[in-house]
Amino acid sequence: MKKSLLILISGPYMSGTNGDESAIAKNLKAMEDYALPIFSKGHLAVVGEWLAWPVIRQAGGDSHSSEQFTEYQYPVAHRLLEKCDAILRIPGESRGADLEMGKARDLGKIIFNSLEEIPTLNSGI
């Protein structure tokens, strides 16, 4: 592989949290913890929520329970996936991540199920 990939990190966000903001933040951090290791392999990582929240806030949403969150979270992630080269599914039950994996397969994206599967480029920082 000679080209750096844009990789969507997909995993639990709201799943298993019962709406508890600290649990949601822990799930987000779990996804974000893959950003540096992916970068160190020569690629760039992205998390759907990083792009969804500005859209949600502009639409008037201010919480995970807002109708705007429900309306925009998945569509933003799915549009982002169309721009990504690959997806990394991290461990944990998640209906949203399972939906993203199905869409990734439909789009013919490269699918990784572990960090170790992602090839390392010789590009360095």
Secondary structure (3-state) at 118:
coil
Q: What's the pTM?
A: 0.92
Per-residue pLDDT of the chain (125 residues; tens, 9 = 90+): 689 999 999 999 999 898 899 999 999 999 999 999 999 999 999 999 999 999 999 999 999 999 999 999 999 999 999 999 999 999 999 999 999 999 999 999 999 999 999 999 975 56
CB 8 within 8 A of CB 84: yes
Sign of the alpha-carbon dihedral angle for 101, 79, 6, 63:
negative
CB 44 within 8 A of CB 5: yes
Which pair of tokens denotes residue 96?
Answer: 């949203």
Q: Which domains does the chain have, with CATH numbers?
A: 6-117 (3.40.50.10400)
How far is 77 from 55, CA to CA, in rounded Å?
A: 11
